[in-house]
Amino acid sequence: MRVVSWNIHWGCGKDGRIRIHAIIDVLRKLNPDIICLQEVAANHPELEGSATANQFKQLAGAFGGFHAIEHAPSEIYRNNVPRLFGNLVLSKYRITQAQRHMLPWPADPGNRPGMPRGATEVVLDTPGAKLRLVTTHLEYYSPQQRLAQVRRLRELHAETCARARIFAAHPDMDAPFQLGERPASAIYCGDFNMAPGDDDYQALLAPGVDGAPALVDAWATQHPGHARAPTTGLHGYPWPDKPDCYDYFFLTEDLAPRIASVEVLSETAASDHQPVVLDLTPGA
């Protein structure tokens, strides 16, 4: 099973032009089963390159055999037209549930306003077992807001795992009540805007709460003792000041033995971030 996570920078490449077809070409060559994208835009002409098209629809249309779940935590209306900015999940596997979580956005007078952030959760019918997948894009400018968002992700994780221990769907239940069937086993991926070893990174990987399985960093698990490949700051983009790692795959500890590989695709300059590719062996 191959999962790709990528902050696509609304398709704006190094030349300042929007080339969604370049994003699509890279993704097709990677041949993923699941695609998790951040910074997908619709009707945002003020963004660099003028992101006027609905990229959610463009990307979903390019992968017509995939199930698509979009989530735009930033939803602004002008002349009754929504301007959207957020996450997109595309999956070859059947999606049985979707949850769109808004993350905390506490006021922080010492930093730029930032934007609303969210986490997109889906339950997937993967070969062998159901699996929960969450993709997110955390705050960059405010450490206070980012830490609050990390804490909320941990709360949601603990809540879901507690429910998984006691909940079993029954065919006699009305459909809305079957939403609780969300497995504890999970993949968390996206642009976390934190460096390895930061306080919020350590907070996310702290021991599980109330019996919830802890999360592990897929790269650190697969490449112990090796320098981490940067996921941004390549190809001469003006941001950040130096190459660094902000994009991750975190997995519940029960999935760690299934990690076959995790790599950063450093060649493409189609975005100011690089795609991160996770391969898992089949489940039991």
pLDDT tens profile 103-132: 999 999 988 888 999 999 999 999 988 999
101 compared with 175, residue with greater pLDDT:
101
User: Taking the model in full, what pTM does it have?
Assistant: 0.96
Whether 243 has a pLDDT exceeding 90, the answer reads yes
- pLDDT band at residue 13 using 50, 70 and 90 as cut-offs: very high
The DSSP-derived string for 155-203 is HHHHHHHHHHHH----TTS-GGGGGG---S-EEEEEE----TT-HHHHH
| Domain around 272 | 2-280
DSSP 13-26: -TTS-B-HHHHHHH
| Per-residue pLDDT, 178 | 66
| The pLDDT of residue 168 is above 80 | no
Residue with tokens 């969300």, as numbered in its chain? 182
Q: What average pLDDT score do residues 18-37 get?
A: 98
Distance CA 144, CA 50 (A): 31
How many angstroms separate the CA atoms of 56 and 59, rounded?
A: 5
Biggest alpha carbon–alpha carbon distance for the chain: 58
Q: How far apart are CA 150 and CA 273, in angstroms?
A: 21
Residue with tokens 């399985």: 213
Number of separate domains in the chain? 1
Helix, strand, coil percent values for the chain (each to nearest 5): 25, 35, 40
User: Is the pLDDT at 180 greater than 80, yes or no?
Assistant: no
Nearest-angstrom CA–CA distance, 67 and 55: 15
Mean predicted confidence (pLDDT) in 127-145:
95
Rounded Cα distance, 46 and 26, in Å: 26
- pLDDT bin (cut points 50, 70, 90) of residue 210 is confident
Task: With beta carbons less than 8 A apart as the criterion, state whether 207 and 252 touch.
Answer: no
Confidence of residue 167 (pLDDT cuts 50, 70, 90): confident
Q: What is the CATH number of the domain that holds 275?
A: 3.60.10.10
